[in-house]
Amino acid sequence: MERNKIRNFSIIAHIDHGKSTLADRLLQMTNTVSERDMEEQLLDNMDLERERGITIKAHPVTMSYKANNDEVYELNLIDTPGHVDFAYEVSRSLAACEGAVLIIDATQGVQAQTVANIGLAMKQGLTIVPVLNKIDLPATDLAMCYEQLEEILAIPAEEALLCSAKSGEGIPEIVEAIIDRIPCPPEVEEKSLASLIVDSSYDAYRGVVNYVRVFSGEVRAKDQITMFSTGKSYEVKEVGVFTPKMKALDVLTEGSVGYLIGNIKDTADSKIGDTITSRMEPVKEALPGFAEVLPMVYSGVYPIDSADFETLRLSMGKLQLNDPSFVYQAESSAALGFGFRCGFLGLLHMEIIQERLRRHYDMDIISTYPSVIYHVHLKNGEMVKVDNPVYLPDPSTIDYIEEPVIAANIMIPNDYIGAAMSLIMEKRGLCENTTAVDERHVMLSASLPLHEIVIDFNDRLKSMTKGYGSMNYTPNGYQQAPLVKLEMKVNDDPIDAFASIVHRDAAESRGRKIAERLKDVVPRQMFAIAIQAYVGGNIVARETISAMRKNVTAKCYGGDISRKRKLLEKQKAGKKRMKQIGNVNIPQEAFVQVLKASTSE
């Protein structure tokens, strides 16, 4: 296809504003997918995406369209996720495009993630095509949307197109606008092959499949290619495009988006953001890749059966291939055995990764309580980074601890300002600014500790605003806080799997919750078991599992009371001795129940 007939674009929007539905209509209109094969959210091909109704991975597809001027155009669409945890997927997709279709729900208007995504697109200099979706609904408020477009996003209201992705109304105008407004790939002087790896997946029979955007030159089967970062060379076995299934072609030309399969066997050899170039005529410098993404939330992931450790390592390697924001390294726990310390972008990202391990790789796993990276400043002037409470230095050597902070933009209807402010204060946050977006909506700018929002902040915000509140956040450095290490002891034995770093004021309540849960799941013994939560040397919460009692006086049918007393004293002494030498074996199911309850609270 000629370069000036190619249009590369993404669809960006807040969650549930209609990205995947619009992609379905575009596939139908361009006859890319036949009516017989058509189904809702066609590009969301992962079972998890369909169940949760969200897009997790960016999905590329190539469409051919005959425009009003009778010219045939190649439209390369990349459908992107909307959730804040997957913002990295969006930035990668935008790097392969010249334009973006921005969808706004005409009933809700501009939301927090809309602002974040438009910021990513404008930073990369993309042409924006604004679309107001769901105009067929009775709650549509176009006046509000036009005002928000101009006031918040600085986009002229007359540029906005109206459509209903569900009914198909307005779709032809959107396709024509994509062709008219979004520029074709720019002409480059470089004639050698330079293509950017924007994503990749692993095929058990063919090895690594790289999703690429060709910026210069062309690539075909049997070409010799080199990876810029590793210097390793491979032979191309197949090139092609997604329609949305893989369709082999003879050649991928300048400006195209498609896939490339070489004889790449090891997942570590294909890095997202790397440049693929010709082995014979390599380009002088790599294409600008993507900023190295840093995980924000850490959790231990352990196999229920320790024999599955190596299988879990291989499964995580395959997952990491097309999700570089997921990182892991081996660790061990006295309670849970060998496992991995894993880093995630957020709690939803963590849930999705764990669910993919369970479903796609048939792994039976358990995860520890989520933690973030703390900066621990010691009295000798050193600073150590701690992502696992077990490795927190001795309190006597610590000068102070800093925790990560985020800058949050929270968009809510005016009626819920009081409730939102209370929630921010409860989570140790500070509301810095309040901006009226329009007559009915307000944007709160707040600074919050990351650890406080990863668990349930978004859920509670949605609940209190009846689903109308939305939040987007970005890392905003570190701040000093009175943090302590909360540990649990069962029968005087420390259990490292339940250790966590918490704010001093919350240590008692959290310790009491875990102690109560442990009391319910730890089996009773012949002696009393003390479950204690402690900070430093101080016990802040305690529960006691009473001893099972054997009736040693059952055979005494009357007679002298001193005989019964003697038997009871003997039993009491025996229990005391048993407690000194007895070990409490906490079953694996107890860990699973307590940790599951902890991570879902």
pLDDT band at 575 (very low <50, low <70, confident <90, very high): low
Binding residues: 16-21, 133-136
For 53: left if phi > 0, alpha if psi spans -120 to 50, otherwise beta; the answer is: left
pLDDT, average across residues 58-86: 74
Closest listed residue to residue 578, CA positions, set 526, 530, 543: 526
Question: Three-state DSSP class for 539?
Answer: strand
pLDDT, average across residues 250-263: 85
Is 199 or 505 the better-scoring residue by pLDDT?
505
pLDDT band at 447 (very low <50, low <70, confident <90, very high): very high
Nearest-angstrom CA–CA distance, 108 and 419 = 20
For the chain, the domains span 3-181, 194-278, 297-367, 375-481, 485-599
Please state which of the ranges 300-309, 349-358, 424-433, 522-531 shows the lowest mean pLDDT. Answer: 522-531
Q: Which CATH number fits domain 375-481: 3.40.720.10, 3.90.1150.10, 3.40.50.300, 3.30.70.240?
A: 3.30.70.240
pLDDT digit string (tens) for 338-391? 888 888 877 777 878 888 888 878 888 887 778 888 999 998 888 998 888 888
CB 367 within 8 A of CB 357: no
Q: Which amino acid is at 449?
A: P
pLDDT band at 32 (very low <50, low <70, confident <90, very high): confident
Q: Could you tell me the CATH superfamily of domain 485-599?
A: Elongation factor 4, C-terminal domain (3.30.70.2570)
Binding residues for GTP: 16-21, 133-136
pLDDT computed for residue 586 by the predictor: 63
Residue 430 has pLDDT above 80, yes or no: yes
pLDDT computed for residue 599 by the predictor: 47
pLDDT, average across residues 585-590: 60
- pTM for this entry: 0.70
Q: How many Cα neighbours within 13 Å face the side chain of 547?
A: 15
Q: Which residues lie across from 331 on neighbouring strands?
A: 339
pLDDT band at 335 (very low <50, low <70, confident <90, very high): low
Give how far the C-alpha of residue 136 lies from the chain's centroid of Cα atoms, to the nearest Å: 33
Residues 6+ apart with CB under 8 A from 128: 99, 100, 102, 118, 121, 122, 155
Instruction: Give the CATH class of 3-181.
Output: alpha beta
DSSP 307: G
Residue 437 has pLDDT above 70, yes or no: yes
For the chain, percent of residues with pLDDT exceeding 70? 84
pLDDT computed for residue 240 by the predictor: 87
What is the residue-averaged pLDDT of the chain? 79
DSSP track, 250-305 = SEE-TT-EEEEEES---GGG--TT-EEEESSS--SSPPP--PPP---EEEEEEESS
Q: Which CATH number fits domain 297-367: 3.40.50.300, 3.40.50.1100, 3.30.710.10, 3.30.70.870?
A: 3.30.70.870
* 297-367 and 485-599, same CATH topology: yes
pLDDT computed for residue 592 by the predictor: 57
Nearest-angstrom CA–CA distance, 424 and 407 = 12
Q: Which amino acid is at 600?
A: S
CB 184 within 8 A of CB 5: yes
For the chain, percent of residues with pLDDT exceeding 90? 1
Q: What is the CATH number of domain 194-278?
A: 2.40.30.10
CB 170 within 8 A of CB 134: no
pLDDT digit string (tens) for 84-112? 556 665 666 777 788 888 888 888 888 87
Closest listed residue to residue 150, CA positions, set 437, 531, 484, 388: 437
pLDDT computed for residue 45 by the predictor: 47
pLDDT digit string (tens) for 484-531? 888 888 877 787 777 888 888 888 888 888 888 888 877 777 677 888
pLDDT, average across residues 229-233: 81
The Cβ of residue 508 has, within 10 Å, a number of other Cβ atoms equal to: 15
pLDDT band at 557 (very low <50, low <70, confident <90, very high): low
pLDDT band at 392 (very low <50, low <70, confident <90, very high): confident
